[in-house]
Structure 1
Amino acid sequence: MSGILSGSLIEVVPPREPTVTCRSNTYPKGFYCSWHQLHPTYIPTTFEVDVQHNQRSLEVCQDPDHKNRCRVRFPEVFSSFPYKVNVTAVNALGKFSTTISFEESSIVKPDPPERVTATPIRFNARRLEVSWHSPATWPDIDNFPLKYFLRYRPLIREQWQHVELSDSTSHTITDAYAGKEYIIQVAAKDTEIGTWSDWSVAVHATPWIEDPLPITSTTEVDYTTEARTSPIPSSNAPQKAEPPVGSAARLFTYFSPLLLGMLLLFMW
């Protein structure tokens, strides 16, 4: 069947087999299933979802934030009965279904850890203190604890180093290269079942680098040279010049009052 869309001749088709995936990031509260079609139909297509467990249908709630997603509550925890999910795509030209089956433990996958930080340790050029928080979507961390997987590497190398941690939200890297920038990520997993989460958002950090000593300058004065050298007067200071006089003139100036007094006595 053909039709016209946006001025172009296209072929509208019945739906094909939808792709369906299910995952529990809120264990043990429940899980969600999402679906999409690899090939567009070019006409309105709706989806019908049916979830079966132990020969009974479970309530399916449409996700308010995602068009092609629904949420289902676990009817019981640690169930050995498999879940069967059927998604049917329906439009005016036909319908097509996909059915998947799984056990509870196989779909448990937490969201990545949050608020990952890496801090240099003062006076230690080979250590980084890494910490993080469990994902906020994980509802019961006390009864269903998570374990973590840390990976890190310097930017100058491609090979990662790994550390697996049980029930701890911090780790001290002790073998970092001094002065090299590192990239660090963390993943989470239920301690008993399921699979590892995706990696957290990468953080970058550099181990502590010693502060360089401040550069100081000193001026040494040669007092011997200063004593031998006359200071240079400022060019703005006027210099008064006095005419040099001989020794006779200085002697006359010294005795002139005495001679004047004797002359006056003889005249008297």
Structure 2
Amino acid sequence: LGKIFQVSGVQYGRLESNVTLACGKSQIRIPVAWHLNHSSVLPWHKVTSDGTLVLLHVDHSAQGNYSCYDNRGLLLHSVKLRLGHPPGLLSISCKVPNHTHVRCSWVDSVKTFLPAKYNASFRGTGQEWRPCVVDVARKHCDVDHPAFWQTIHILRISETNALGSETTSVRFRLHDLLKPDPPESVLVNELEGYPKRLIVSWNFPSSWPLHDAFPLMFQIRYRPQGSIYWSEVYAEESPVMIFDALAGYPHEVQLRARDEVNSDSQWSEWSPLLLVRPWEVSSTSESPELLLPDYIFPFNTKPETSTAKPPGGIIITVKLIKDHPEDEGNLGLAILLVLFSVVILTTILSLIFVVWMRQRRRDHVTKQELTSMVKMKSMPI
């Protein structure tokens, strides 16, 4: 039989087990009648000689308000039955958006169908347990100013309901979980008069505290729309100038961020993709690039990486992309055709020369033979 858990007129039972409902505290054996939600129709059950109701292998349909009456129809006892499962282990994951905050959330491995309470605590190696503030509705808890200098941290969460309790513990390294939120307010603008330049600007993630000495490294990637190759620029501050945009083509641009000091940290997710077209030269305007040309980057058939360090200590890394692959393919085909034609022509001329030389030698030999025959005929016998 299932155990009896009765709290303030509510009795809890375990699904798929037998649940016993007593008709009050009286031990007098009198005939009783049970009703469920004012109906005499009950789930699969039996009634013992002392008036106890035993529900057999209960499911959700057995939940409700149960009442027992004596043979005169007087109410003896009533109770509300709720059914569910005891807690199981939790699936826990933690996010560390900056050095001052940790948020851990969890998912139940067992659907209990019952209200639960959660108690969470957090500590670094060798430290005292401290509370992780729980939000029951959203099933997460928060820790402010964790001990980032500790290598290993432990989080334990206990789930309790009317049928039991279960505690789940996880161990992790904050340095490995540190993952900033994506950069915000990302803008990409053309630069008037410069068809190969773009200006990229952004703000730090609002969740990243600027007053603390934790700098971020930003990665910008961009490519002409339709290209499979990305170019990349790394920077510490906004804005950044792109010098090698492909004139006349719309470009896709994205940003992400990472803690500059902690090499074990993770890159943020990419910011939403932005599409922008560089400034285009008009037939009536004169481009300032004639006076101040952009840096010229060679385009190769395979992506390469070049690194330069401009003033201010900003490291710029550019992956070169393939430019006009169709034009390069047509040019290469034309060169191959010309070379092939030259080889064929040379071969034909060589054959003609060889045949001509052989014919010339043959004519010379024939001429000598005729001369010899004439001389032999003119000799006296």
Give the TM-score category using the shorter length: 0.5 to 0.7
Quote the offset at 1:38 in angstroms: 5.3
SS at match of 2:60: strand
Map of 1:183-262 to 2, 5 A cutoff? 183-193=252-262, 194-211=265-282, 213=284
Quote the offset at 1:40 in angstroms: 3.4
Q: Give distance in 1, aligned partners of 2:185 and 2:191.
A: 19
Q: Give distance in 2, aligned partners of 1:75 and 1:156.
A: 45
Change (3 A) 1:106 1:47: same
Percent of aligned pairs with the same amino acid? 28
Q: Give distance in 2, aligned partners of 1:175 and 1:39.
A: 55
SS at match of 1:22: strand
Partner of 1:102: 172
Quote the offset at 1:92 in angstroms: 3.5
Change (3 A) 1:201 1:12: same
**Deviation sequence 1:190-228 (CA, Å, 0-9, x none):** 1122211111122221111123559xxxxxxxxxxxxxx
Between Structure 1 and Structure 2, the one with more helix by share is 2
Partner letter of residue 228 of structure 2?
A: E
Q: Give distance in 2, aligned partners of 1:13 and 1:35.
A: 18
Partner of 2:342: none
2:120–2:131 CA contact under 8 A, matched in 1: no
Q: Give distance in 2, aligned partners of 1:56 and 1:172.
A: 49
Does the alignment pair 1:174 with 2:243?
yes
**How large is the RMSD of aligned CA atoms in angstroms?**
2.8
Partner of 2:329: none
Partner letter of residue 196 of structure 1?
A: W
Alignment gaps of 5+ in structure 2? 1-14, 16-58, 63-82, 286-381
Partner letter of residue 209 of structure 2?
A: P
Map of 1:131-170 to 2, 5 A cutoff? 131-140=201-210, 143-165=213-235, 167-170=236-239
Farther-moved stretch of structure 1 (198-207 vs 85-94): 85-94
Q: Give distance in 2, aligned partners of 1:203 and 1:147.
A: 20
SS at match of 2:131: coil
Quote the offset at 1:84 in angstroms: 0.3
1:134–1:169 CA contact under 8 A, matched in 2: no
Change (3 A) 1:150 1:55: same
Quote the offset at 1:157 in angstroms: 2.2
SS at match of 1:70: strand
Partner of 1:61: 133
Change (3 A) 1:144 1:211: same
**Deviation sequence 1:77-105 (CA, Å, 0-9, x none):** 4234x210012333334444332112332
> Which protein has greater RCO, CA pairs closer than 8 Å, 6+ apart?
1
Quote the offset at 1:188 in angstroms: 1.0
**Deviation sequence 1:109-147 (CA, Å, 0-9, x none):** 111111100011112212111111111111135511111
What's the TM-score once normalised by structure 1's chain length?
0.67
Q: Which has the larger radius of gyration?
A: 1
Partner letter of residue 69 of structure 1?
A: H
Partner letter of residue 50 of structure 1?
A: S
1:129–1:171 CA contact under 8 A, matched in 2: yes
Partner of 1:20: 92
Partner of 1:128: 198
Alignment gaps of 5+ in structure 1? 6-10, 215-268
What is the number of residues matched between the two proteins? 206
SS at match of 2:150: coil
Change (3 A) 1:50 1:176: same
Farther-moved stretch of structure 1 (44-53 vs 88-97): 88-97
Partner of 2:66: none
Does the alignment pair 1:111 with 2:181?
yes
**Deviation sequence 1:47-100 (CA, Å, 0-9, x none):** 321212224111322359x721211123544234x2100123333344443321
Does the alignment pair 1:31 with 2:118?
no
Counterpart pick for 1:78 among 123, 130, 149 = 149
